[in-house]
A and B are shown apart, each in its own frame.
Chain A
Amino acid sequence: MKPKVAFFDFTGCEGCQLDALNLDAEDLIDLLNGIDIVNFREVMTERSDNYEIAFVEGSITTEGEIERIKKIREQAKTVVALGACAGIGGVNCLKNHVPMEEALRIVYGKDAKYYNTIPARPADAVIKVDHYVRGCPPSTSELVKVIKALLLNKKPDIPNYPVCVECKMAGNICVYEKGQTCLGPVTRAGCNAICITSGRYCWGCRGLVDEPNIQSQKDILNKYGLTAEQVIEKFKIYDTCSEVLK
């Protein structure tokens, strides 16, 4: 009996779902031999509310979304947060730094009165989440890895060490050595340090490791010339700052 899998989107760009489809044709066929996709708005019109595994994408930003995701949790045996918005709050949380009325006014102008919003939050702020497919967007290989682990009933091999490990494995020259700064030392690996390997730095899109040494990371950013405010800005983009500000 193939497990029935459903994909749901909340507040986000839906890029994670789009990226999920970037599989090789052969792998896609193998994947569909293992699971039954019963709900996936971006690729199919059929919909069913009978599923065991739910992938939720996007962060929670309205009261309505809270109710919706709770219903999904009741139905699904396993809930997987797909991407940075669902997993750690993501870019939507940038608005949490201004009052909600102000956020509505900036976005909707004079029509703001027709809308409602609450501070953005990850899925696990509302329901229990069993697994995470991390990244912005997550790599297809990580999504596949998590699905395979679910089918094999084992823990997905997602590291609990920082990006530095994979960055060094890739033989990169440290971003700090080039006089720039990077969130690699506290961000969970699993991306093969793709941003640094491509000449950029780590933005922290995969969230923090389980035991990040935030104080030390802040001190290092200071040492490399960032002011306290710039340090917070650095952590803001994917909302890893909520941990930092604690």
Chain B
Amino acid sequence: MNESSVLVIESDPIVRESLSGWLSSTGFEVTSAEDGARIVKVFAKSDFNIVIMDVRLHSETQLATLREMKAIRPRIKTIIITSHPQEEKVLEAKKIGVVDYIVKPVDMDDLQKIIQGTVESICRDNVNITEDNTSFETSGDDLVPGIKKSFAISRENLSLMVENLLKETEVIGVKAKQGKYVYDRIYGFYELSLDYDVTVSPPTGYMFPAKETLLKFKTGNGNHVEPVIEYTPRVIIGVHPYDIKAIELLDEVFMNHNPDPNYTARRENTVIIGVDCLHPSPRSFAPSMGTNWTETGFDLLLTDIGNSYIVKIGTEKGAELLAKHTKYRLPTGDEIVRQKKVRGEALNRYKIALDTPKDRIPKILEESYDDPYWENRSATCLSCGSCIMVCPTCYCFDVKDEMAMNLKEGERFRRWDGCMLVDFAKVASGENFRKDKASRFRHRMFRKGKYILERYGKVGCVGCGRCSSACLAGIASPLEAFNSLAENIRLKEAATSVIQPAKQARHIYTPEMAEILSVRQLTEKEKVFELKLKSGKKLGHYPGQFVTVSIMGTGEAPLSISSSPLRGKNFQLAVRNMGDLTSALHSVEAGATVGIRGPFGNGFPLETLEGRDLLLIAGGIGLFPLRSLIQYVMDRRYDYGKVSLLYGCRTPAERVFTEELDFWQNSKEIDFHETVDMPCEGWTGNVGVITNLIDKVDIDPKKTMVAVVGPPVMYKFVIEKLKKRDLPDAHVFLSLERKMKCGVGKCGHCQINGIYTCQEGPVFSLTQLRSLREAVL
């Protein structure tokens, strides 16, 4: 690309000729045209950086031409020549790509200054974006391949390298299929298409396949469980920088904080040979996301500079591979210039761009949470999942058990899942935490623009444009959402998050076996199970934490722990019969073996509670998790001030742990009140909603900490009541339910906005929840 190619659009032939002549004489490459409307057609095919146009600012046709040119070439710089510049009209013009204006009659010196300044800014832009730290050294060990060094390699020698690789490993490459491009296994260099625009699916599936087995198991005596980690060593050739950036994100998600052994094994056995994207898809906006070039994440990176390639070394593995399999040489000065040139040209081929710096996206989204955009734009959403299935940065999954036909052995597998699908956030009780299209649509955009970035420090959208190609309804492009919302925002502080490491396990998805020591029926639908880990170790939990319980063949579900960690090595799980797993659990007897993972999550903040008055509030089976705290507090009663417990449920028949309720009723150590919504004959206690009980308790808001566990509907009313009693948000803690599968912050189901209930929760302070809109309080 020539930085000084200029298009002059001027209707007056005399002015046009003299301007063009003068520009040519000062070193510009000039094309001229009589009017803009006609030029728009050829505009897309040519390479102009600067347009000088005679514009009557009150002419809508001419403004439309400017808009059209800006749409075709977002990076174009337009200088307008105009007679009567009104301020608001100039402002409007600046929004559509006009960098400066000059008033008639034209002073050539002024014009030259403006053009020179514009050329310089174009050069600066390109340098910023194509900045490359490569040093083309010329010392004695020039040809020793090392990280960050670049060499030249002929097409023949690249072919030689691929053919040699094919002799020793599986090679995946980009090839043409039915007019599109796909990643597929290749058997010869001739199959490769290295100058492609974009592939239908991203290469991430080779590290994180659509379906994979995590565990194999045998049921019956002993419940034999074996982790399964399968991988094939392979080389992937032709990965574009935006996909390399996506792989870097998956590495962060799956290889740090609770490393995922399956992903890690595959990733460590994958060699990535990238290639610069020189002919981007018209839907791509990678430069806006900073993902059109990359300095990291590849073993080797190729740039096609005509007859040869520049190859950059990213890792030792890449260096070895290059040295072993082919011939290469130092690039010539001309080749280095050509690399810069082809990259510059590529940058100019992108057709769409963000209207705002990408760093502002999280704030834009935060400010736009309640924008009608989500509702309006998602009306045509098919919930078909196409956008998330082709997204290189999507990695959420579901976990299921599949038994063999003999019903004695089976496997636990994971399968891609995602937040745009209707049932993604639906729990066994039927509650769906993102039940409408708008909330799912919004959540995906927040993931892409905000949540992932804040959690992992890497962009959640790499601008590949696959989702907008795949979306039949035409609504999936994050670029469109970010640009549309960009006008309505103000800056606010970024949220932070904490990753909670799971207890160190050999394989994070493999449960530890535990024996059910006893089973006791609590009500018609609820039982309490006492368990002990077969290893003899203590579970090591805190009140309010949860475990996942596995019955191999049926599946796995998260259950809160109902007993205090201070009461020996055993632990208790109280369970309502509601879904597949709980129903299977209800049918087992003492002596049976189940799988346990965890404990997971954040429990009640014991240090914050110590020394304070406590108000504990449980609704229905919210008593199950709260009981771990109640027991804990009773065991260390001297550490706390006044302790009050409020318990409410629908009917007397649904009261759980009735002996304990009686005990607390008669205990002097705890101020206990209970109520039922619907009394039955013989019920002599309180009748009414649980909030009525709050009136019965003396509360010193400064000294009192509150822990609440109950159904979602109860929280709103309890909080209202507590606020009337002047309790600060920081003194109120609630435990939230969400759909959960993995427990280790990977599978994505339990997200409330950008946080993971299994990591930061399930217990949250009201202060935390105030900034989480999906918590619905």
Contact = CB atoms under 8 A, between A and B. Distances in A.
B389 A169 contact: yes
B584 interface: yes
B583 A161 contact: no
B422 A209 contact: yes
A115 to B, nearest CB: 42
Interface stretch (B278-286, B402-410, B611-619, B733-741): B402-410
Contacts of A216: 379-382, 473
Contacts of A186: 382, 384
B182 A220 contact: no
Contacts of A31: 405
A213 B383 contact: yes
Interface string B29-64: 000000000000000000000000000000000000
A210 interface: yes
A227 to B, nearest CB: 18
A214 to B, nearest CB: 10
A33 B404 CA distance: 12
Interface in B533-569: 553-555
Contacts of B404: 30
A164 B422 CA distance: 14
A158 to B, nearest CB: 11
Contact of A168 (B182, B201, B472): B201
B405 A30 contact: yes
Given A173-B180, A185-B382, A185-B472, A152 B406 contact: no
B386 interface: yes
A30 B410 CA distance: 14
B191 to A, nearest CB: 16
A211 interface: yes
Contacts of B211: 169
Contact of B406 (A30, A153, A185, A209): A30
A244 interface: no
A30 B437 CA distance: 43
Contacts of A173: 177-178, 180, 182, 200
Contacts of A75: none
Given A34-B405, A169-B210, A161 B421 contact: yes
A178 B178 CA distance: 8
B423 interface: yes
Interface in B163-184: 177-178, 180, 182-183
Contacts of A33: 406
Given A154-B554, A169-B416, A162 B423 contact: no
Interface in B557-597: 580, 583-584, 587
Interface string A213-243: 1011101100000000000000000000000
A108 interface: no
A34 B389 contact: no
B688 interface: no
Interface string A152-190: 111101001110110011111110111000001110000
Contacts of A63: none
A91 B380 CA distance: 29
Interface residues of A, number: 42
A166 to B, nearest CB: 9
Contact of B382 (A157, A210, A217): A217
Contact of A213 (B210, B382, B470, B587): B382
Q: Is the interface of B mostly helix, strand, loop or mixed?
A: loop
B505 to A, nearest CB: 26
Contact of A176 (B383, B472, B584): B472
B201 A171 contact: yes
A169 B382 CA distance: 17
B173 to A, nearest CB: 14
B516 interface: no
A38 interface: no
B554 A184 contact: no
Contacts of A178: 178
Among B178, B406, B554, max chain A CB count under 10 A is at B406
Among B383, B390, B470, max chain A CB count under 10 A is at B383
A154 B473 contact: no
Contact of A164 (B183, B384, B555): B384
Nearest to A189: B385
A160 B182 contact: no
Given A161-B421, A185-B382, A148 B405 contact: yes
Contacts of A176: 472
B182 A153 contact: no
A129 interface: no
Contacts of A209: 383, 422
B555 A154 contact: yes
A155 B554 CA distance: 9
Contacts of A171: 182-183, 200-201, 205
A179 to B, nearest CB: 10
B198 to A, nearest CB: 12
B721 interface: no
Contact of A160 (B180, B382, B422): B422
A144 interface: yes
Contact of B400 (A151, A157, A174, A220): A157
B385 A161 contact: yes
Nearest to A187: B384
Contacts of B178: 173, 178
Contacts of B383: 161-162, 209, 211, 213
B58 to A, nearest CB: 37
Among B178, B384, B555, B587, max chain A CB count under 10 A is at B384
Nearest to A216: B380
Nearest to B470: A174
A164 B469 CA distance: 14
A27 interface: yes
B470 A210 contact: no
B380 A213 contact: yes
Contacts of A172: 200
Given A171-B200, A177-B180, A153 B584 contact: yes
Nearest to A165: B385
Given A162-B384, A185-B382, A154 B421 contact: no
A236 to B, nearest CB: 20
Interface in B109-129: none
Contacts of B182: 171, 173
Contacts of A27: 405
B389 A165 contact: yes
A206 to B, nearest CB: 14
Interface in B470-496: 470, 472-473
Nearest to A34: B407
A220 B472 contact: yes
Contact of B580 (A148, A154, A215): A154
A70 B770 CA distance: 54
A174 B389 CA distance: 12
A170 B423 CA distance: 21
Interface string B364-404: 00000000000000011111111001100000000010111
A185 B384 contact: yes
A165 B407 contact: no
B400 A148 contact: no
Nearest to B181: A173
21 contacts: A148-B407, A152-B403, A152-B407, A153-B583, A153-B587, A154-B554, A154-B580, A157-B402, A161-B421, A162-B384, A165-B421, A168-B385, A168-B386, A168-B470, A171-B205, A173-B177, A173-B178, A174-B470, A178-B178, A213-B383, A215-B380
Q: Which 3 A-B pairs have the closest CB atoms?
A: A168-B389, A30-B405, A164-B384
Interface of B: 177-178, 180, 182-183, 200-201, 205, 210-211, 379-386, 389-390, 400, 402-407, 416, 421-423, 437, 469-470, 472-473, 553-555, 580, 583-584, 587
Given A33-B406, A164-B386, A216-B381, 20 more contacts: A30-B407, A144-B405, A154-B584, A160-B423, A161-B383, A161-B385, A164-B385, A165-B421, A168-B386, A168-B470, A171-B182, A173-B178, A173-B182, A173-B200, A178-B178, A212-B382, A213-B382, A215-B380, A216-B379, A219-B380
